[in-house]
C-alpha cells in the first residue's frame, strides 16, 4: 500500500453524511492516506444533511489510478432513481486496476445493478445484506450480515457505519491491528454503554 | 417549534464528519427542518475526512434567531488550540434567545471554556462525560454518561453520535415519539448485530 495514498469519496446528490463519516475522518486525519472527493461534475454535491461539499475530481478526467488505494461510496437519496452509468464506468476502470471498492446502503444497490457484486456473496438489496455460509451438508445458507467483504468489494448496511469503517481500516492498514481493534471496540461499545 | 425551522451546523477547521452526521441527515431530509452551515467566515471549512464544506452564514452577520430551532456543534481537531471567542459570542446570543445548543466531543470543551456548562451536570472534558445523580444520602455521585441533556444544552462523547442524534430528534420533535425510538433502536442494534 506504500505508494497508494489516495482515497476517493464518490459523491452524488444527497449523499449520506454518516455512512462514510468514520472511515474518511480517521483515514484522512490519522494515517498517511488523503481523501479526495470525486463526482460526475464539479458542482458542489449537497449531502442529506445540507452540507455542500466541493468536488476535487470529476470521474471523466481521473487518471491517478496508480496512487489510488480505494474508492469509498456512501449511500444517499439519489441512487434509486438514477442509473449513474458514467459513475459505473469509472468504477469499472478502477476494478480493472484491482482497486478495492467500499459501498454502503444505496451505493450497494448501484454496484449490484451494474454487475459488480457476486450475487451469492452479497445477496439482498440496500436494506438488508446476507452473507452465504455452507452448512455441514454443503448447502448454502444465507445469514443476515451487516458488512460483507469479498475480494476487493466491501458492502454494508446503513446502520453499520462503524463496522464499515473497521473493515476499510483493516484493508488499508491505517494503523496496527491492535489499534484498529481498539478503535472498533471503543466505538461499538460507545453505542451501548 | 412550528415557526422555527432552521438548524445551524457550526463548522470549524477540521470539523468531525461522523459526530453530527446522523442528526443533520435525518433532520434535514426527513423533517420540516432545514440545516444551514455557519462559520467564522465564508471560506469552505474542511472536515477531518477531507470534505470542503461551503458556508451559508457567518456568525457576525446572523440575524435569523426567530426561526432558529437549534445550533449543532460537531467536534473536530481545532477546538483545543483555539478559543474561538467570536463563536462563543454568537452562542451567547443564541442562549439569550433560549435556543438549544447541541455539542459533541471537542465542542463540549469549547462550551465548557466559555462558561456555558453547568459544571455539576456536565462534568469531565471532551473525552469523558459524567452525569450527576444523588445517592440515598443525598450526596452527588458522578456516573459516566454518553450524552447529558440539561435544560437547553446537550453534550455528548465522540463515540455517541447515534444517541446524540436521538436526543436532538426528541427535542426537535422531528417525528412521533414511536418513530424516533424505532430509529434509535435500529441504529443502536445495527452496531451490535
pLDDT per residue over B38-64, tens digit each? 999 999 999 999 999 999 999 999 999
Tell me if A137 is assigned to some domain.
yes
For helices A177-192 and B177-192, the axis angle rounded to 10 degrees is 150
Nearest to A48 among B19, B25, B52 (CB): B25
Question: Model pTM greater than 0.90?
Answer: yes
Tell me if B1 is assigned to some domain.
no
Strand-pairing partners, residue A123, are A130
Long-range interactions of B79-82: CB distance < 8 A, separation 24+: B79/B12, B79/B106, B79/B107, B79/B109, B79/B110, B79/B126, B80/B106, B80/B109, B82/B12
Alpha-helical (H) ranges within B36-136 are 85-96, 106-113
* pLDDT(B19) > 70: yes
| Residue of A7, A23, A40, A105 with catalytic role | A105
Tell me if A1 is assigned to some domain.
no
Tell me if B48 is assigned to some domain.
yes
Tell me if A166 is assigned to some domain.
yes
**Please, what is the average pLDDT of chain A?**
91
The mean pLDDT of A164-192, rounded to a whole number, is: 92
Helix (H) or strand (E) holding B47: none
pLDDT for A119? 66
State how far the Cα of A55 lies from the Cα of A91, in Å rounded to an integer.
17
State how far the Cα of A153 lies from the Cα of A71, in Å rounded to an integer.
10
**Catalytic residue numbers of B?**
105
Q: pLDDT band for position A192 (50/70/90)?
A: low
Which chain A residues have a beta carbon less than 8 Å from that of B78?
A: none
Are the C-beta atoms of A126 and A105 separated by less than 8 Å? Answer: yes
Tell me if B95 is assigned to some domain.
yes
Q: Write the pLDDT tens digit of every residue in B143-171.
A: 778 899 988 999 999 999 999 999 999 99
Which chain B residues have a beta carbon less than 8 Å from that of A29?
A: 14, 48-49, 77
> Structural domain tally of chain A?
1
What CATH code is carried by the domain that includes residue A148? Answer: 3.40.50.880
ipTM of the complex model:
0.91
Which chain A residues have a beta carbon less than 8 Å from that of B20?
A: 17, 49
Nearest by Cα to A189 from B162, B180, B184:
B162
Mutate to test the interface with A, among B51, B74, B168, B183 (most CBs of A within 10 A): B51
Chain A (37-56) residues lying within 8 Å, Cβ to Cβ, of chain B: 37, 44, 47-54
pLDDT for B123? 62
Placement of cell 427535542 in the chain: B171
Q: Is B49 exposed, middle or buried (0-12, 13-18, 19+ CB in 10 A)?
A: buried
Tell me if A133 is assigned to some domain.
yes
Q: Which domain holds residue A184?
A: 6-192
Q: Is B137 exposed, middle or buried (0-12, 13-18, 19+ CB in 10 A)?
A: exposed
Amino acid at each position: 500500500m506504500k505508494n497508494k495514498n489516495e482515497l476517493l469519496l464518490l459523491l452524488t446528490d444527497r449523499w449520506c453524511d454518516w455512512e462514510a463519516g468514520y472511515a474518511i475522518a480517521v483515514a484522512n486525519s490519522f494515517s498517511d492516506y488523503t481523501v479526495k472527493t470525486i463526482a460526475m461534475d464539479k458542482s458542489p454535491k449537497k449531502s442529506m444533511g445540507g452540507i455542500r461539499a466541493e468536488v476535487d475530481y470529476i470521474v471523466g478526467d481521473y487518471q491517478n489510478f496508480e496512487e489510488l488505494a480505494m474508492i469509498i461510496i456512501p449511500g444517499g437519496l439519489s441512487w434509486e432513481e438514477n442509473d449513474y452509468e458514467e459513475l459505473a464506468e469509472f468504477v469499472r476502470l478502477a476494478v480493472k486496476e484491482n482497486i478495492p471498492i467500499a459501498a454502503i446502503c444505496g451505493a450497494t444497490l448501484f454496484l449490484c445493478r451494474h454487475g459488480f457484486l457476486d450475487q451469492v456473496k452479497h445477496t439482498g438489496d440496500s436494506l438488508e445484506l446476507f452473507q452465504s455460509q455452507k452448512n455441514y451438508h454443503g448447502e448454502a445458507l444465507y445469514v443476515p450480515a451487516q458488512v460483507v467483504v469479498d475480494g476487493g468489494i466491501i458492502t454494508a448496511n446503513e446502520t453499520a457505519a462503524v463496522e464499515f469503517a473497521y473493515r476499510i481500516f483493516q484493508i488499508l492498514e491505517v494503523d496496527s491491528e491492535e489499534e484498529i481493534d481498539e478503535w472498533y471496540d471503543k466505538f461499538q461499545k460507545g453505542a451501548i454503554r
